[in-house]
Amino acid sequence: MTDESITRRTALFAAGAVGLGAATAAAAASPPPVDTGTIAADKLTFPPNVASTEVQPAPPPNPAPQDERVGFAVIGLGKLATENILPAFAQSKHAKPVALVSGSPDKMALIARQYGIAANSCYAYADMARLRDNPAVQAVYVVTPNALHRRDVLAAAAAGKHVLCEKPMATSSREARDMVAACARANVKLMIAYRMQYQPHAREAIRLARGGALGDVVLMDMVNNQNQGDPGQWRQKRALAGGGSLPDVGLYCLNTSRAILGEEPVAVTASSWTPAGDPRFAEVEDNVAFTLHFPSGAMSNCLTSYSTHELRRLKLLGSTGWLEIENAFAYDGQRLRIAKLVDGRNEVTERTMPAKNQFAVELDHFAGCVKTGTPPRTPGEEGVQDHVVMEAIYAAAKTGRRVDLPRVAKRDAFRGPEPEAEG
Q: What is the sign of the dihedral through the CA atoms of 177, 179, 180 and 182?
A: positive
- Would you say 269 or 358 has its CB closer to ligand NAD? 358
* Nearest alpha carbon to residue 99 among 137, 70, 65, 156: 137
- Would you say 281 or 294 has its CB closer to ligand NAD? 281
Alpha helices in 262-379 (DSSP H): 358-372
CB of 294 to ligand NAD, least distance (A): 25
x/- mask, ligand NAD, residues 199-238, rule CB under 6 A, reads -----------------------------------x----
Which of 71, 76, 244, 376 contacts ligand NAD by CB under 6 A?
76
Please give the residue whose beta carbon sits closest to ligand NAD in the complex.
Answer: 78
CB of 256 to ligand NAD, least distance (A): 13
Stretch near ligand NAD under the rule CB under 6 A, chosen from 72-80, 202-210, 376-384, 411-419: 72-80
CB of 81 to ligand NAD, least distance (A): 6
Which of 144, 272, 301, 307 contacts ligand NAD by CB under 6 A?
144
Stretch near ligand NAD under the rule CB under 6 A, chosen from 73-81, 266-274, 344-352, 369-377: 73-81
Angle of helix 200-210 relative to helix 251-261, nearest 10 degrees, comes to 40
Angle of helix 3-19 relative to helix 22-29, nearest 10 degrees, comes to 150
Distance, in Å, from the CA atom of 379 to the CA atom of 415, rounded to the nearest integer, reads: 6
- Would you say 245 or 269 has its CB closer to ligand NAD? 245
Stretch near ligand NAD under the rule CB under 6 A, chosen from 129-137, 144-152, 201-209, 337-345: 144-152
Mapping DSSP onto H, E and C, the string for 160-175 reads CCEEEECCCCCCCHHH
Q: Strands 335-342, 287-293: parallel, antiparallel or unpaired by DSSP?
A: unpaired
Strands laid side by side in the 345-351 sheet = 345-351, 335-342, 321-326, 311-318, 217-225, 299-305, 287-293, 267-273, 403-404
Which residues would be at the binding site for ligand NAD (CB under 6 A)?
Answer: 76-81, 103, 143-146, 148, 166-167, 193, 195, 234, 240, 248
